[in-house]
Structure 1
């Protein structure tokens, strides 16, 4: 016999499932797109928000979806160890959404403090909705109940920096940076990063208004809270989002006021905005119509001007040469994993090789756009030497008319530790240590300045 109390509890449980299910479904779908289809998280997030699973989600559920996906990717190595401990026969083949459902639910149980009944029941329901995973609903229930009881202890006993770094990246980093640096990079990437802003003026004022702090370079750092568009200063164009490391390459061009500057591979436009704010006459070139549209929207909001050119930076030509060229080349982006935890699972060593060939073509063409005495700055958000130091060395061999102009500490607000012995800029995710890990860190960036030899 059903009592009124039990009936009320059942109804409340059903409401909880109905409220929580869309966010979990969206998280599982995003993880499937990243891990199975190798799609970039930023791209699929945009599509999901515009017309996909996240379109009708309230703000709180959108934040939950992002948190689940972020934890699932940052801690995938630990979660996989836990799941494999309880999957006696391994993951069934052709089980469709079974793995992303298990991965996302385990992330909630181990790292997001989600109540076990909610995470488990919602995961079982998700499996039941999937044509190929529904026959494993009892497996989902059994595995996740064990994860709820034992998963946190198992995960805590693992070497988190190592186990959450795929072998292909760990091997590379240890080979050319040593294990201590590789471990420091991997540890920094486990922490969700703060938000860095480049402000148009009065950094101290905006740090106070946004409850942030001013970094040595003048960027403002704050803890993310809600939608960026809702923060004070967004609508009036007082600032733009830009990691402190990403703000450094444009500085290496020196005083650009009144000078013609080409910004190649420019979108989404943080560096274009820097150059325009500094008084440069900027020509921003990008191959993507969509990304160039975003750049235009950003400039309009900021009240800044630049000439936008839709085109291939390897063949772009202008009616007259430029005083300076900034080339922020497409790369593997391994320096930005703390902000983009999908990168270890959507990129590979083969991508680094392919992108290296493109970077060389871009560098060679960029040099042809300079007037005599001009300055070329090349940068990537990569930790890989093939996309940094090796590119510059090879470019100078191919073009004997160029030489490396070493970066000086005063160009980087006195941060001499960001300058390699060669004179190139090189930052790591574990640098810029502040008073807590949550406030610390920066993207991994490389930049070099080339000027005429002789």
Structure 2
């Protein structure tokens, strides 16, 4: 029998692993499928992407030769369903065999049946023998994360909880209040079910993503520049705090999303579609937020395809762009003003290394950041470094690097 969930999950994995597409984009391309099946397919595909190394290690003893990529993904899906998602053994095997036949891989149906039956017979205990965090993390990423690598990789095995920010004066009736502000909801909570969402009182924003604006500390009526502003969570924060916000974003589609978010929350900002690296304001700003484009490795819990799509060599291109934007931001900063630089990256080249270079090149200096609600995130140089391994008892947080700069 056709299984729309498995068919869709197979298509998602092919789009990500063979074509290099982001998982969300591949998911949006699935149009002829029920919402329930689409959500289940996303969950299965994300589980495979989260645990690819572990799944391959489980399968390896039962494969005499390398299977075609399509077949390997079917085997991964069957094993992932049984080992991680609670799929009954007969269903994990049967749906994988059916999918093999439906994808014109019928000659391999016996192999799929035999291999997955062996996985089922071995049982979940096989996972206890494996170093899952290490297996599921590319070597280049593991090495770059240093002493935090195991904590980060362990956290990546779990889906991220749902965090929200609220308009001033609004307190939702549910959700766990967070020490840094905002509220947290369990994995899988529908956004529309959060009190205040439909009324335009809250927006989705990870606890770590909410920190850069709080550390910029805009004052009511202060002119603030938000560079690279889309999709707009930080723009909304700035506007909600009473700042006079100018938001610059070069991508028209992303600017449309930003505008929509502001309208839903009934907040106002000046929106400028332009490249932040070349746009020039009429007068400098006393406060600038630069949430720079980056590798986004700090969001791998939410986007498990990232560690498959990113390569170590990609970081150099990112850092060149970040330097260009830091140069532009420094030129727009008024004397005595402050600049907060942030990236949702775990890579040191995109964090402290960029700030060291900017200070040497631009005549800026660090303005150390206090964070009493999360002191373990403050580095010895006064920057902020969050990662998914922090707050393990609360469900972790995204990885961010944040630094505040002023003229020397």
TM superposition score category, shorter chain reference: over 0.9
Q: 1:124 corresponds to which residue?
A: 97
Gaps of 5+ in 1: 1-16
1:262 equivalent to 2:225? Answer yes
- In 2, Cα distance between equivalents of 1:337 and 1:452: 34
Q: Report if the CA contact (8 A) 2:248-2:275 is conserved.
A: yes
Q: 1:32 corresponds to which residue?
A: 14
Match of 2:132 among 160, 171, 178: 160
- In 2, Cα distance between equivalents of 1:226 and 1:442: 16
1:104-151 CA deviation, whole Å, 9 max, x = no partner?
A: 2211011111122222222222222224x3332222222222222225
Q: 2:84 corresponds to which residue?
A: 111
Q: 1:224 corresponds to which residue?
A: 187
Match of 1:432 among 377, 382, 391: 391
Q: 1:417 corresponds to which residue?
A: 376
Q: How many residues align?
A: 408
1:141 equivalent to 2:108? Answer no
- In 1, Cα distance between equivalents of 2:399 and 2:188: 24
CA RMSD, 1 decimal: 1.7
Q: 2:141 corresponds to which residue?
A: 169
Match of 1:189 among 153, 156, 163: 156
Gaps of 5+ in 2: none
Q: 1:98 corresponds to which residue?
A: 71
Identify which range, 228-237 or 216-225, moves more after superposition.
Answer: 228-237
Output aligned runs, 1:315-326, within 5 Å.
315-326=278-289
Greater radius of gyration (CA): 1
1:67 equivalent to 2:40? Answer no
Match of 2:166 among 189, 199, 204: 199
After TM superposition, the score normalised by the length of structure 1 is 0.86
- In 2, Cα distance between equivalents of 1:243 and 1:376: 21
After TM superposition, the score normalised by the length of structure 2 is 0.95
Q: Report if the CA contact (8 A) 2:168-2:240 is conserved.
A: no
- Match of 2:342, SS state, is strand
Q: Aligned in 2, Cα 1:134/1:295: closer, same or farther, shift over 3 Å?
A: farther
- Match of 1:374, SS state, is strand
Output aligned runs, 1:14-25, within 5 Å.
17-18=1-2, 21-25=3-7
- Match of 2:122, SS state, is helix
- In 2, Cα distance between equivalents of 1:98 and 1:34: 15
Q: Aligned in 2, Cα 1:374/1:280: closer, same or farther, shift over 3 Å?
A: same
Q: 2:321 corresponds to which residue?
A: 358
Output aligned runs, 1:343-422, within 5 Å.
343-400=306-363, 402-409=364-371, 413-422=372-381
Q: Report if the CA contact (8 A) 1:84-1:90 is conserved.
A: no
- Match of 1:339, SS state, is coil
Q: Report if the CA contact (8 A) 2:218-2:238 is conserved.
A: no
- In 1, Cα distance between equivalents of 2:374 and 2:335: 31
Deviation at 1:398, TM superposition (A): 0.8
- Match of 1:447, SS state, is strand
1:231-270 CA deviation, whole Å, 9 max, x = no partner?
A: 3322111111111011001112223311111111111111
Q: Report if the CA contact (8 A) 1:79-1:155 is conserved.
A: no
- In 2, Cα distance between equivalents of 1:442 and 1:324: 26
Match of 2:244 among 263, 281, 295: 281
Q: Aligned in 2, Cα 1:65/1:226: closer, same or farther, shift over 3 Å?
A: farther
1:166-203 CA deviation, whole Å, 9 max, x = no partner?
A: 21211222xxx23xx21111111111121111111356
Q: Aligned in 2, Cα 1:165/1:151: closer, same or farther, shift over 3 Å?
A: farther
Structure 1 consecutive aligned stretches of length 4 or more whose deviation exceeds 4 Å: none
- Match of 2:313, SS state, is helix
Deviation at 1:391, TM superposition (A): 0.2
Q: Aligned in 2, Cα 1:333/1:253: closer, same or farther, shift over 3 Å?
A: same
- In 2, Cα distance between equivalents of 1:232 and 1:57: 29
- In 1, Cα distance between equivalents of 2:253 and 2:107: 41
